Amino acid sequence: MSQDLKIDLEHITRIEGHGSIVLDAKNGKVVSAQWRVPEAPRFFEAMVVGRSYNELPHITSRICGICSISHTLTSLKAVENAMGVDISDQTLLLRKLAHHAETIQSHILHVGYLIAPDLFGVGSVFPLVNTHKDAVVKIVKLHRLGNEMSDLLCGRTTHPVSMAVGGFTKIPTEKELTEVKARLQGAVKPANEVIGIVLANAGKLPGFTRETEYIGLTSDEEYALYDGVIGSTDTGRHKLEDYLSITNEFVVPHSTAKWTKHNRDSYMVGALARYNLNSRKLTPLAKEVAGKFGLKAPCFNPFMNNVAQLVEFAYVLEDSIQIIDELLDDGLKEEKVEVKVKAGRGIGAIEAPRGVLFHDYTIDERGKCVKANCIIPTNQNHGNIQKDIEALAPTLLDKSKSEIELNLEMLVRAYDPCVSCSTHYLKVKFV
Amino acid sequence: MKPKVAFFDFASCEGCQLQVVNLEESVIDLIGIVDVVSFREAMKEHSDDYDIAIIEGSIARPMDEERLKAIRSRAKILIAFGACACIGGVNALRNQFPIDEVKKRVYGDADIKNNPYFDVFPIKSVDEVVKVDYYIRGCPIDRGEFAKVVTSLALGKKPEIPNYPICVECKKKENICVFEEGKFCLGPVARAGCGAVCPTSRCGCEGCRGLLDDPNTDSELEVLQKHGLTLEDALSRFNMFWYKAGVRK
């Protein structure tokens, strides 16, 4: 590789949304390396002003097509906290199951469709249909399972319909849940086979490490996905109400998405952050998957986020079966939902597939939203992606241009960024 | 010769492109009849040589307008894909406020003046910028309908897009009318094609596919008011997905 290099990876592929990497090296040294987010901003916090409390989950769901269930659930939690609405145990279990359905769909989409092509050295999943048909069919079946669970619980695969403030407008039947349970049990074997294929190719994941802060929800009760308080690997536990002093959003000129920082220049959220905070709470199958890959907390290799997603995939399969057993033991009942409008402010938080998500609404006495704030997982990762690029790029300069590009793209993809979300609002640029 | 298809996304959640992935095994059949030459969300390869351009998202900035015009100039057929592209979608909700107020609410006092990334105008649907040949509607789109439209175009046929109300599909499903449960629904004036997915889950239709070509909005407003909505609330029901059109007060 020559001593001078300009790379402009515009609109990185196989990620959600538009992001670019611009790298400039002179005399064998990196002069600048920048992560840019040119996605058109969408201004959700302004869009919801004046809208009724029961429309907020339906509007903010549209922040993201991949994690619309997480946005809906976080929005419901924020509204319910603001107005003092309680939910039943049945609603809680059905919501957790819907949330798991999304994690299944999102994690297998990422590892199976977006990451696997890098492990096999191809540009997309399409050529793998011919060369690795058996593996692709298994991945498609697991993806379908997540989507069909979402359909059943939410009334639609993307942008939930039936989850409402206080409860559900329609619930599945016991027969439908029993069928899903059987399919989840049947999914354990193909999931292990897909995990085995990734394991056989895991050597392609770079061995890069950089110590950073990891933030996510944490709980004494369980591996925190639906509920918890804020946890940091640097500073311990914090109350949800303090989320603004954890996230500290700021604007940079080369990104329509806001960035965040807490105890250091940047922090990471998502599957690896959750694993680093909460791995002790995982189920046996999930721990076994982590063991196969040698994943141990704390792990400072961002590329291992892909592996942490597989560990969580195994966890949500097991936990979904347990939730369905609980629901069936108690027996499903139609519950009447009555909601009383009350003015107030409420914060909701959840672990979306890509990391911790916050919605914060102020609602007036007519039930209308007067103020909203949404802090998205990918926003919280932008600063860490930048710092990783700065650390990784100098180690790559002896490689060919295409190898440098591939490594930088793989780094960004490992974060599973959701740029539409973060600009509620990808591409590498070598200039 | 298989037609070459390219996907492009503007301001959106990319949930409509995800519905293409959500076709699961059927995607494999679809790529048997068309060549996907650009699909950034799922593939690394890209080509500017395409017959059919599928546009997701609404148009927010001069830089996006230029990009869209360039795509139009290369495509034989251009499809507006999903509510954001067809009618503005939820993005257009911000059109009710002055731009400066919207920017301040989200970015506060940050210095974003003269920065093209932040140079937004009121949200436009795709047909406010370029000619649109076909519309695949909904938030998100219906993946079955998408497969049908693409198949028709690959066979050189004109795809059929419904112009009858949601109520027709809802009645076929033998749903109890959600008005009977004291809920509110745009079914009588909203365009069908989704299979009445929201009323089937006991929620009123929110009109994500837009209005019929000739909707009786006055009578719908009357119905909504009869069921206890104020005129203001009834009007706001109409604008969740297509604020720019609004409804006459």
DSSP B130: S
Q: What is the mean pLDDT of residues A259-283?
A: 97
Q: What is the pLDDT of residues B135-183, one digit of tens each?
A: 999 999 999 999 999 999 999 999 988 899 999 999 999 999 998 888 8
End-to-end CA gap in chain B: 52
- Which of A126, A156, A170 comes nearest B202 by C-beta? A170
- Taking CA B105 as the corner, what is the angle to CA A363 and CA B122, rounded to the nearest 5 degrees? 110
Give the count of domains, chain A: 1
Rounded CA gap, A24 and A422, in Å? 26
- Position A423 scores a pLDDT of 59
CATH number where A172 lies? 1.10.645.10
Query: Does residue A172 lie within any of the structural domains?
Result: yes
Measured between CA atoms, the residue of chain A closest to residue B31 is A126
The better pLDDT of the pair A53, A123 is held by A53
Rounded CA gap, A217 and A355, in Å? 9
Interface test with A, best of B65, B90, B173, B205 (most A CBs within 10 A): B90
Q: What is the pLDDT of residues A96-124, one digit of tens each?
A: 999 999 999 999 999 999 999 999 988 88
Contact at CB, B94 and A46, closer than 8 angstroms: yes
Interface test with B, best of A18, A47, A170 (most B CBs within 10 A): A47
- Which of A58, A113, A256 comes nearest B42 by C-beta? A113
DSSP A39: P
Answer whether residue A48 shows pLDDT above 90.
yes
CA distance B10 to chain A (A): 7
Going by C-alpha positions, the residue among A383, A94, A64, A62 that lies closest to residue A248 is A383
Q: What is the mean pLDDT of residues A395-423?
A: 87
Interface test with A, best of B117, B166, B208 (most A CBs within 10 A): B117
- Position B249 scores a pLDDT of 29
- Position A104 scores a pLDDT of 98
- Position B160 scores a pLDDT of 86
- Which of B31, B91, B203 comes nearest A42 by C-beta? B91
Query: Does residue A428 lie within any of the structural domains?
Result: no
Phi and psi, residue A398, nearest 5° = -85, 0
For residue B40, which residues of chain A lie inside 8 Å, CB to CB? 11, 13-14
All domains in chain B, ordered by first residue: 4-154 (3.40.50.700), 166-238 (no CATH)
Query: Does residue A182 lie within any of the structural domains?
Result: yes
Rounded CA gap, A201 and A208, in Å? 16
Position A197 confidence tier, pLDDT thresholds 50, 70, 90: very high
Contact at CB, B13 and A62, closer than 8 angstroms: yes
CA distance B230 to chain A (A): 12
Rounded CA gap, A365 and A252, in Å? 37
Q: Token pair 């979300």 is at which residue?
A: A421
Answer whether residue A1 shows pLDDT above 70.
no
Query: Does residue A25 lie within any of the structural domains?
Result: no
Query: Does residue A87 lie within any of the structural domains?
Result: yes
Distances (CA, A) of B112 to A33, A38, B93: 22, 13, 22
- Residue A338 sits in which domain range? 44-204+321-378
Rounded CA gap, A429 and A12, in Å? 9
Q: What is the pLDDT of residues A133-157, one digit of tens each?
A: 899 999 999 999 999 999 999 999 9
- Position B245 scores a pLDDT of 45
Position A2 confidence tier, pLDDT thresholds 50, 70, 90: low
Going by C-alpha positions, the residue among B182, B178, B174, B183 that lies closest to residue B199 is B178
Query: Does residue A353 lie within any of the structural domains?
Result: yes
Going by C-alpha positions, the residue among B240, B181, B183, B171 that lies closest to residue B209 is B240
Rounded CA gap, B175 and B107, in Å? 45
Contact at CB, B110 and A45, closer than 8 angstroms: no
Average pLDDT of each block of 10 consecutive residues along chain B (249 residues)?
93 93 86 89 86 96 95 97 96 90 84 84 95 97 94 92 93 93 88 96 94 86 80 78 56
What tokens were used for A242? 């303090």
For residue A43, which residues of chain B lie inside 8 Å, CB to CB? 94, 102-103, 105-106, 120
- Which of B22, B105, B118 comes nearest A46 by C-beta? B105
What tokens were used for A49? 């002003």
Concatenate the DSSP letters of all residues of A263-311 into one string: SSS-EE-SHHHHHHHHGGG--HHHHHHHHHHT--SS---GGGHHHHHHH
Concatenate the DSSP letters of all residues of A191-226 into one string: HHHHHHHHHHTGGGS-------EEEEEE-SSSS-SS
Measured between CA atoms, the residue of chain B closest to residue A43 is B106
Q: Which residues neighbour A356 within 8 Å (Cβ) at sequence distance 6 or greater?
A: A215, A216, A217, A230, A269, A273, A349, A350, A377, A380
Q: What is the mean pLDDT of residues A217-229?
A: 98
- Position B191 scores a pLDDT of 94
What tokens were used for A98? 């819907």
Going by C-alpha positions, the residue among A274, A273, A305, A78 that lies closest to residue A206 is A305
CA distance A7 to chain B (A): 16
Q: Under a CB-based contact definition with an 8 Å cutoff, are residues A389 and A6 in contact?
A: no
Query: Does residue A387 lie within any of the structural domains?
Result: no
* ipTM of the shown complex: 0.93
Query: Does residue A291 lie within any of the structural domains?
Result: no
- Which of B21, B91, B101 comes nearest A113 by C-beta? B21
Rounded CA gap, A281 and A228, in Å? 13
